[in-house]
Structure 1
Amino acid sequence: MAEVVVSKDQFNEFVKRMEQGFHHADQRHNDLLAAMNERFTQADQRHNDLLGTINQRFDQVDRRFDQIDQQRQEDRQAMMQQRQEDRQVMMQQFQQVDQRHSDLLAAMNQRFAQHEARLVSMENWMRTTFVTVALVAVGVAAQLFYTLLRFGLKPPTP
């Protein structure tokens, strides 16, 4: 190829246009960087907003779990209190049953003692009656024997 000779003015003009092109490219590059920085700033802001929303939701969930846990604790305490009260009522009922049982046993023992005393009294009355009847029978037999002897009847002799 053949060399083309250019004048100094043409060369300076060429350099000037090149510098303008570079300047224009630098300007475009700076504009793109500014746009990218703005987009990154918007993305960061959106990311921070989303993180804030997520943290807010997690806080709500944590509060709800705390409420549920507190309610569960209160329910457990109420249930334990009710269980304790039920146990006390049951123990009182058992004590009442034991007291009634003791009273009933005492009454039964008293009645058995009364019946035993009556039986002993009847046994004594029967012994007394038997002795009395025996004495009366011996007396009647003696009176009959005496009467028979008086009329001259003699007992059979063997």
Structure 2
Amino acid sequence: MADSGSDLAQAVAQMFPGHGVEMKNSIGEKRRNLTITHEKGDEVVRVRLEAKAAEKGERTADAIFVCRAKDAQHFVVVIVELKGSDFPHALSQLEQTSERYCGRGRKKEHGKGLGSNHLKRVIGLVSCPRGQKDQAKIKEMRKRGIDALHWKDYRIDLSVLLKKAK
């Protein structure tokens, strides 16, 4: 259920019925965490995916964050996978999640909603402190409209993601 008070959170909740949608800026799993830091007035909405997908036997990323800077018309979708070291597997999960939910910048599975009119960019973020980059796979994903980032820290500022989305 979406926290009240945010039009963005309510719209995201309609796009992802049955998923945990909250005004949260962090995700944690198995001693791994990632926090998207941001300025006052920016919006970060988290959609938890993995538990529901696991019930269906699907592979998916841990979460999708829908982020919008204060007074911005467009938002950025950040697909997040937390990994210890298996970066190639994480990229595969990002790709499958993007295809299911954000194919070519359009909301696929859940019908109309925020859609391509307001979506600026899809970013795949792998928090993988020990993994090795796979530049060829990252380049291939970029051709499909996903900017993949290999992030070795447990914090990333929204401004970094917004710059990547330009």
Of structures 1 and 2, the one with the larger relative CO (CA 8 A, separation 6+) is 2
| Fold conserved between structures, TM > 0.5 | no
TM-score (norm. length: structure 2) = 0.14
TM-score (norm 1): 0.14
Higher strand share: 2
User: Which protein has the larger Cα radius of gyration, Structure 1 or Structure 2?
Assistant: 1
